[in-house]
Amino acid sequence: MKICVLGLGYIGLPAATLFATHGCEVVGVDINKSIVESINRGMMPFDERGLPELLERAIRSKNLVAKTEVEDADAFIIAVPTPLDKEMKMAELGYVKSAGEMIYPHLRKGNIVILESTVPPGTNEKLLIPILKKSRLEVSTDFYLAHCPERAIPGNTIYEMIHNDRIIGGVDKESTALAKSLYSCFVKGDFYLTNSTTAEFVKLMENTFRDINIALANEFAQIAEECGVNSWDAIELANKHPRVNILKPGPGVGGHCIAIDPWFLTENSTRCRVVSLAREINDSMPNHVLRIVKEMLNGVDNPTITVFGVAYKGDVDDARETPALKFIRLAENEGYEVKVYDPHVKKFKYEILGFEDAVKDSDCIVLITDHTQFKETNPKEMAYLMRNKNAVDTRNVLDVGRWKETGFNVKVLGDGRC
Ligand code: SAJ
């Protein structure tokens, strides 16, 4: 079985290496030449646990080769980005279209095309079929098409790609069956079969459900602050109910999925209410964090603050859609000097400083990301470097007692008692 995987990013590269290490001949295609070159040298373009070893095995076995052009294959998997057009709040499907355009000249009888990228409902039917038909082949008789959304969580992608249950939605029964048999080579979870548009819809529902749950947690956190209650303890207690599972509050929702996908549901609907409201609540959390910081720094002249963590979540190097960026911009507009420290992120819109430079002469640490390393930070190591000893913890990860003993004022987002 020869597979062409289009897009060698956070989903495409792990998928390509898994197919390659499970007996398939894989051509990974990316338009970015430097990514292609680094993959062929076995070098990872981003961090992901377990992937470097898998990539090395795939390259060594010669089952995986990266290229900039599509070539003839039995199956084509599209795993390209589908960014949000932020102004219009709509999916930008340009990369999916170009993938289709790159595939159709190579499409042969019996081939299958699988869209893995997250898309608005109906994209396979309305957008991809017309492009693929330029091959003069007919869908369902000559070639097959399915949507197989990825559910793996960044940070544990490889394990989840293998073990999670999988939704397979073909544009017809044969497409569904073919797609299932393809993924069976490495997926150990169960398969659930449906049609293509339902599969597209299900993927969006999953991430929207998580976004709304986090928005609820964020609203609870703000109400708890007003009521003098610790929302973190309260949520833990509420979750002891057998049918309650509230997620955690925080500085906002980032990443390339949860902060974006709900808009793919709303873009073509007049019925969305709670979905867009949840987005609004989560997007307003950096403003809430700034409010807390401002209260803390009241009376401090020309404040300098240090942002701990710009990755969108703990222990990843990915800063896409991070709430840290909005917080930094708001703080700068407030006249604050902002310094940034993140032990994982290498590329960011602001300079990432070393630990000492970031903390030196600062008036407040604002912990945005729950990196494990931050939980273990010894406040004594920074107390003597800072101008004023203040800390705002938006993730409830610091050992507040220890920080207070060291002379810090500490405020935890969602804790109305401190
Ligand atoms: N977050 C909170 N509170 C929480 C959980 C998360 O504020 O209780 C924040 C995180 O800090 C982060 C954002 O939400 O900024 C998203 O992080 P995440 O860990 O919830 O999710 P992602 O974006 O890394 O991965 C999600 C997953 N979707 C679901 O769990 C429904 C993953 O399974 C999907 O495969 C992935 O989106 C995707 O690619 O769509």
pLDDT tens across 223-237, in order? Answer: 999 999 999 999 999
Q: Is 203 a catalytic residue?
A: yes
Q: Whose CA is nearest to atom 7 of ligand 1?
A: 250
Q: Is 320 left (phi over 0), alpha (psi -120 to 50) or beta?
A: beta
Active-site entry in 4, 24, 148, 257: 257
Q: What residues contact residue 209 under an 8 Å CB cut-off, 6+ apart?
A: none
Q: Rg (Cα) of the chain, in Å, rounded?
A: 23
Ligand 1 atom at minimum distance from 214 CA: 3
- For ligand 1, pick from 166, 257, 310, 395 the residue to mutate: most ligand atoms within 8 Å of CB: 257
At 147, list the tokens: 């949507």
Q: What number is the average pLDDT over the span 335-348?
A: 97
Which pLDDT band, with edges at 50, 70 and 90, does 418 fall under? Answer: confident
Tell me whether residue 185 is one of the annotated catalytic residues.
no
Tokens of 364: 């407040």
Helices and strands of the chain, counted as H and E runs? 18, 15
pLDDT at residue 219 above 90?
A: yes
Q: Give the angle 224-230-234 at the CA atoms, nearest 5°.
A: 90
For residue 47, is pLDDT > 90? Answer: no
Q: At 244, is the pLDDT very low, low, confident or very high (cuts 50, 70, 90)?
A: very high
**For 253-269, what is each residue's pLDDT tens digit?**
999 999 999 999 999 89
Helices 323-333 & 285-296 angle (0-180, nearest 10): 50
DSSP assignment, residue 117?
S
What are the beta bridge partners of residue 305? 338, 364
Q: How far is the CA of 254 from the centre of ligand 1 (A)?
A: 8
DSSP code of 313? Answer: S
Mean pLDDT of the chain: 97
> Residues with Cβ within 6 A of ligand 1?
118, 150-154, 206-207, 210, 214, 247-248, 250, 253-255, 257-258, 312-313
pTM of the model: 0.96
Determine the Cα–Cα distance for residues 91 and 343; give it in Å rounded to an integer: 32
DSSP codes, 118-157: ---TTHIIIIIHHHHGGGSPPBTTTBEEEE----PPTTSH
Closest atom of ligand 1 to 370 CA is 11
Mutate-to-test residue for ligand 1 from 258, 288, 320, 368, highest number of ligand atoms within 8 A of CB: 258
Eight-state DSSP code of residue 230: B
Q: What are the pLDDT digits (tens) for 272-286?
A: 999 999 999 999 999
Mutate to test the pocket of ligand 1, among 153, 205, 263, 413 (most ligand atoms within 8 A of CB): 153
Q: Please give the helix or strand (H or E) that residue 200 lies within, else none.
A: helix 196-227
